[in-house]
Structure 1
């Protein structure tokens, strides 16, 4: 029997909506010039990350007090820096509390705000009901006023059940037309879209406004071009410490595809582009099996894509294991390929040839 998760989906949509509005408010008030703190790994983190994580957990923890949470941020920086803490508290304490948001819990004090953020530091096992979130995926592009995502996924014993991703800079017209998604083509007047899925029930896109979410429109499976040379690969092309970018290019060229394809920085926005039919293929080839990626960069987005008919497997042909805790480790899931069924096998074979050559 397929469960509907109606209450979970409703709260996921509205909590993501509220968090997305906060991030958009920051962008507009600072004219896309967002200051950042440095985390331990030197990646940028803004007041938006902290405020969004707090608000998402606040709404869900009030409704599901026994559930676990797994988020990217901890409140350590806020506890040690009063000025930063005050900025985040100002955002959190001024969120809308009526109408569409009336029953969404809000922390009553600074201490409660900090404790809620730190609830996301738990759940190492991946078992039971775990809400995984990335409050701002693509912080670097968020700071430029480009594409980013506010992400949430409910895992039950390591299986994706509900996913909701806010894309505050993605125009509804772009999301529903299959047109290319560009970093610079943003919804400057509106509030973007929220895209969701429940396991076994398909994926849907809804426009977000300042005080409500619009009517859901189902995302229908996309039929890609028959010729693999016409497939559009989505990625971010600068070399990283974990991914073999040259190997990604080698797969594309082996298939005769135009290179580079569509460039998007946020990993969750890559899944959204695949789900909407704006791109066709994503390949991720790590530099070794000792590499890992964070679970919040994939949970929810993968569900949304597979619910539109897409296929995702690791480079060994296995399913992605979301029961690993905070990280998806290379020993269990080495890399991945995301593509439509019609072309998956030929892409998989091309990737294997490239990986075999790399390992010689």
Structure 2
């Protein structure tokens, strides 16, 4: 039986995401003084990644959000071992700021053991544990964009079975309106929320109630028939030859908008892009936290999220089931299988 959205305390989730997004934006401004390191897979992790995951986990628990104990998070406490006391102090400070902003000061951790427990709470493996409803969190999606002072997103999605059904995207550097250059940081940022079957909404990062957000929808048809496409800023994230071939077959003639993170999902959901392609390199498998929230927001806005072979994107625990990669589009844009 589908989850009833009015039982999920989504206003509390929005408050937590908004507060953590504001703190992440402030952290980006002081990123030169924050600790960061490389994980075993050579991807970067910063204090902001860890602090946001701690704040969201603690905030949802304190607010009594359903299924808050079922979390798939990107980060774990192992990063603390390499980061040392400086990283721990900064995590406690930033997470505390977010929870104070969310009016949940008593939920703020003050000790290392509390921080470790909150980080490791995201280690759920739904496939192994038989959990059919869970939250999927990428605290700072697009960490390289964060480190460059460009686009990044806080991405939180609720998965039911293998389908993302609720999504929140906090985008501290992404403007709400059409912009000439999305590579620069907007001073206010934006937030996106979607419930599949009920619609999607957007507003500023000061939002505290779902009803205060403005309804959004994908573009019904590309303006002047010219498909606007979003691609990853980091070209290593996909197969460039397959991507070029797919764009040519689709008739795309516009210059791609290259930005980091699930901000690309927000662009499609808000009608500022018509297509986002992420065609996978051979042997690469996408993680659920990189797509669950964005998928829900786009689907709620009337868009399509599918595999490169035309099958609906599905979440398989900590992984994504999308053969050949991911296609995000407005329904009027057809992409030949590649």
- TM normalised by structure 2 equals 0.88
Q: Once the 2 structures are TM-superposed, how far is the Cα of residue 2 of structure 1 from its aligned partner?
A: 7.1
Task: Measure the CA separation in 2 of the matches of 1:66 and 1:150.
Answer: 17
Residue 273 (structure 2) aligns with: 279
Greater shift, 9-18 or 50-59, is seen at 9-18
**What stretches of structure 2 of length at least 5 have no aligned partner?**
none
Q: What per-residue deviation string (whole Å, max 9, x for no partner) do you get for residues 12-57 of structure 1?
A: 2111112112212212335x67552111111111100000000101
The residue aligned with 2:318 is 326
- Could you tell me which residue of structure 2 aligns to residue 111 of structure 1? 113
2:158–2:167 Cα contact (<8 Å) kept: yes
2:217 matched residue in structure 1 = 220
Runs of 4 or more consecutive aligned structure 1 residues displaced over 4 Å after TM superposition: 32-35, 178-181, 211-214
| Equivalent in the alignment of 2:182 | 182
Distance 1:341 1:183, change over 3 A: same
Tell me which residue corresponds to 2:242. 247
Choose which of 302, 310, 327 in structure 2 pairs with 1:337: 327
In structure 2, how many angstroms separate the alpha carbons of the residues matched to 1:56 and 1:36? 20
Give how far 1:251 is off.
Answer: 1.8
Residues 171/339 of structure 1: CA separation in 2 closer, same or farther (3 Å cut): closer
Distance 1:183 1:111, change over 3 A: same
Report the alpha carbon displacement of residue 66 of structure 1 after superposing the two structures with TM.
Answer: 6.7
Pair 1:326–1:34, CA change in 2 (3 A): same
Superposition deviation, residue 129 in structure 1: 2.3
| Residue aligning to 1:51 | 51
Q: Secondary structure at the match of 2:5?
A: coil
TM-score w.r.t. length of structure 1 = 0.83
Q: Is the 8 A contact 2:308 2:326 kept in 1?
A: yes
The 5 Å alignment of 1:112-261 reads 112-125=114-127, 127-172=131-176, 174=177, 178-179=178-179, 182-184=182-184, 186-188=185-187, 190=188, 192-209=189-206, 215-225=212-222, 230-236=226-232, 239-240=235-236, 243-258=238-253, 260-261=255-256
Give the match's secondary structure for 2:305.
Answer: strand
CA-CA distance at 1:213 after TM superposition: 6.3
Residues 1:40 and 2:40 are matched in the alignment: yes
**Aligned pair 1:97/2:90, yes or no?**
no
Structure 1 segments unaligned to the other structure (5+ residues): 356-360
Q: How many residues align?
A: 331
Give yes or no for contact 2:171–2:190 (8 Å, CA) kept in 1: yes
Could you tell me how far 1:336 is from its partner in structure 2?
2.2
- Residues 158 and 282 of structure 1, relative CA distance in 2, 3 Å threshold: same
Distance (Å, rounded) in 2 between the aligned partners of 1:249 and 1:56: 38
Per-residue Cα deviation, 1:214-252 (whole angstroms, up to 9, x for no partner): 921000341223775x11221026542x62112111222
- TM-aligned CA deviation for residue 132 of structure 1: 0.4
Q: Which has the larger radius of gyration?
A: 1
Q: How far 1:181 sits from its partner (Å)?
A: 5.9
